[in-house]
Amino acid sequence: DAMVIQNPRYQVTQFGKPVTLSCSQTLNHNVMYWYQQKSSQAPKLLFHYYDKDFNNEADTPDNFQSRRPNTSFCFLDIRSPGLGDAAMYLCATSRAGGSGYTFGSGTRLTVV
């Protein structure tokens, strides 16, 4: 089945130690998104790629970066995780034609 896969499902990292979260898709969607979701809150968009074009949200901290080496993969890099970055990180894809999103299962990040 075509899907969006996030790895790992759970990630524990040390305060200040760089961490990378991975997302892959078999849907061939041209748009990929990264959302941060804290407990009992709505998902908050960090940035998205439209093909190779990177679109950063104005309030996304510089600590968060992203890479999209090809259509299928997208990575979220947190350069120096703080305790406040502990959250669920959701990857989503879209065909950018108004069709809505397909989400992955998320990566739960814990910072110790």
Partner 1 sequence: AQSVTQPDIHITVSEGASLELRCNYSYGATPYLFWYVQSPGQGLQLLLKYFSGDTLVQGIKGFEAEFKRSQSSFNLRKPSVHWSDAAEYFCAVGPNSGGSNYKLTFGKGTLLTVNP
The residue ranges that bind partner 1 (CB under 8 A) are 4, 6, 31, 33, 40-43, 45, 48, 50, 53, 55, 88, 90, 92, 94-98, 100-106, 108
Are 89 and 75 in contact, with CB atoms under 8 Å apart?
no
Q: Are strands 44-50 and 31-37 parallel, antiparallel or unpaired?
A: antiparallel
CA angle 82, 84, 86 (to 5 degrees): 90
Q: How far is the CB of 10 from partner 1 (least distance, A)?
A: 9
Q: How far is the CB of 19 from partner 1 (least distance, A)?
A: 19
From first CA to last CA, the distance across the chain in angstroms is 36
Q: How far is the CB of 90 from partner 1 (least distance, A)?
A: 6
Specify the residue, 52 or 67, whose C-beta has the smaller distance to partner 1: 52
